[in-house]
Structure 1
Amino acid sequence: MEYELSQLAADDVDAIVSWHYDPPYDFYDMESDPEDLALFTNPENWDDKYAVFDSAGERVGFFSFDVGDDGDILEIGLGMHPASTGKGRGKAFVEAGMEFAAETYDPEIYSLAVATFNERAISVYEDIGFERQETFMQKTNGGEYEFLRMTLSRPL
């Protein structure tokens, strides 16, 4: 399945913030963290955020990219539509985002953080070549949760 990334627009944001996941993945519902929701819905923050569409033109996810201060590390954020998760589509989805990132940002290192309970996503990232770096605690969603930092330092 092919994926296409396009600059995030208001209708994309409206759709994405309405997505609701089944437990335990409801942790990723945008409404779960008011601060993250405010950042995501603010048009001033959309420059490096992209909606993802499948070959049928359906909105199936999003990516955000943040270039580190030194320009060598690209922090990746992403989300898939709840109906697309758990169906074996994750690897192609992440690879499409990484290919876009390689062409657009040309980073030395790709980095992402994932909640440690999300073994499904961790497996996808490792299958692509990401390596586990460290775990850390992060305040979000009204609590403090353990996350895993993963990096990939080779081009795709």
Structure 2
Amino acid sequence: MKTITKQAAKKIVKWKYEPPYSMYNMTNDLENIQELTDGSYFAVYHNYELVGYFCYGANAQVPSGMHKGLYLNQNLLDIGLGLRPDLTGKRKGYHFLNTGLTFGELNYGLSSFRLSVATFNQRAINLYKKAGFSDVATFMNKNGDKEVEFIVMVK
């Protein structure tokens, strides 16, 4: 993995997930490009092809979870991830997730992780539980004009 380049960021913001996962779609604007290239996001390549990304730290936290104080434990590394839409649902997630966990442990020195996932995303929740994550809290977060429930999970 390596930090996301502007070229990779421009590809990622064009990824389009089908409903209900479309809430993970980004807009192709300068703000998203700048966030993706701020040094906390890392691109994952397979055979020189961009297949996904991970982010670590504050950018992996959901705003309402921050306001509720759910990310105060500094002994946990927050992790966020995105797998290219055409690769989702094809049993590639476990290996992909473990790649990000190993990278996080080696580069941030923490072996305990925290992530937040929308409760409707049962596919991801099942993956995280298989990888050893467990639920610790739930909260609501505004996404556009609707409220979405999230679960905070730790490993």
Give the TM-score band, short-chain normalised.
Answer: 0.7 to 0.9
Asked if residue 126 in structure 1 is aligned to residue 98 in structure 2, the reply is: no
- Runs of 4 or more, structure 1, over 6 Å off, are 67-70
Question: Partners in 2 of 1:15 and 1:25 — Cα distance?
Answer: 18
TM-score (norm 2): 0.84
Asked if residue 59 in structure 1 is aligned to residue 55 in structure 2, the reply is: no
**1:102 counterpart residue number:** 105
Unaligned runs of 5+ residues in structure 2 are: 59-70
Provide the alpha-carbon RMSD of the alignment.
2.1
SS in 2 for 1:122: helix
The residue identity in structure 2 corresponding to 1:46 is D
Share of identical aligned residues, percent?
A: 34
Superposed displacement of residue 38, structure 1 = 5.7
Superposed displacement of residue 144, structure 1 = 1.6
- Residue in structure 2 matching 1:13, options 5, 9, 14: 9
Asked if residue 79 in structure 1 is aligned to residue 70 in structure 2, the reply is: no
Superposed displacement of residue 39, structure 1 = 4.7
> Which is richer in strand?
1
TM-score (norm 1): 0.83
Question: How many corresponding residue pairs?
Answer: 143
Unaligned runs of 5+ residues in structure 1 are: none
Question: Partners in 1 of 2:153 and 2:13 — Cα distance?
Answer: 25
